[in-house]
Amino acid sequence: MSFVWDWFYSILASLGMLSWIVSNEYVLQRERCPSGLYRKNAKILFLGLDNAGKTTLLRMLKDNRTVSAEPTIHPNSEELIVGQLKLRAFDLGGHETARRLWGDYTTTVDAVVFVVDAIDRQRFPEAKRELDNLLSSDELRGIPFLVLGNKIDMPAAASEEELKYALGLQDTYGKDVKELYDDRQVACPIEVFMCSVVRRMGYKDAFQWLSQFLS
C-alpha cells in the first residue's frame, strides 16, 4: 500500500499542497494539544514608568525587531505567541498622565509584566511606588507579577540585587521575593529578571517562568 501513499504525496507535493496541509495540521495540533500548548489566551498588562521599554518589548515579541517607538499615549494591544503561550498583551503608557488609564485595564488580568529601566536609578523610588500600588490593588490580588529590569546592555545598569533592593523586593535578611512568596509573606508570585530587549537577552527565561502560572 505504501507506494499508493508515496504516489499520492508526490502528486500533492507537485501541486504545492503538501506544505499547506502539513502547516494547517500543525496549527490544529497546537490548538488541540492537551499539554497546554497555546491553550490559554491570557490577558497580560505591560506596565512601568515611561521610557522603560514596554513598547520595544511588545514590538520585539510581536515582530522580532526593534522599532523607534514614540512615548505611548493610547494603549496598544497585540496577540502574542510567546513560547507555549498565546497572550493578549496590553501595552499602556507609563507617563504620569497615561498611568491614570492603568486602572481601566486591571480587571480579569492574568499577569502583569512590570518593566523598569535599570539605568535610571533616580527613578527607582517612583517605579517602586507604582509597583507597590499595583501589588496592593484588590483587582490584581494573587496574579503573577514579572518584573523586568531592562537595558542591561548598558554598562551603567543596576545589578539584579541592586534593583531588587531598590524596589523592596528583598527583605532585610536578603531573602528574595520568590522565597517570600513560598513562605506566603507576599500575596502573589513575583520574580525579577534582568534583560535587554534590544539585545534579545533575558526576557525569554522570564516568560518561561511566567508560563507556569498561565497554562
The answer to whether residue 197 forms part of the interface with ligand GTP (CB under 6 A) is yes
The answer to whether residue 69 forms part of the interface with ligand GTP (CB under 6 A) is yes
Is the separation of the CB atoms in 105 and 90 below 8 Å?
yes
Q: Looking at residues 167 to 196 of the shown chain, list those that interact with ligand GTP (rule: CB under 6 A).
A: 196
**52 assigned to a ligand binding site:** yes
In the shown chain, the binding pattern of residues 114 to 143 toward ligand GTP, with x for contact by CB under 6 A and - for none, equals: -x----------------------------
Nearer residue to ligand GTP within complex by CB, 196 or 211 = 196
Residues 6+ apart with CB under 8 A from 147: 114, 116, 131, 167, 169, 190, 191, 192, 193
The answer to whether residue 101 forms part of the interface with ligand GTP (CB under 6 A) is no
Going by the DSSP 8-state scheme, the letter that residue 100 receives in this structure is G
| Cα 165 from Cα 171, distance rounded (Å) | 8
**51 assigned to a ligand binding site:** yes
Quick one: angle between helices 18-32 and 2-14, nearest 10? Answer: 100
Q: Which residues contribute to the site for Mg ion (CB under 5 A)?
A: 54-55, 72
Is the separation of the CB atoms in 147 and 211 below 8 Å?
no
Nearer residue to ligand GTP within complex by CB, 84 or 114 = 114
# of chain residues touching ligand GTP (CB under 6 A): 22
Q: Which of 81, 154, 156, 187 binds ligand GTP (CB under 6 A)?
A: 154
In 3-state terms, what secondary structure has residue 63? Answer: helix
Binding residues for GTP: 48-56, 94, 150-153, 197-198
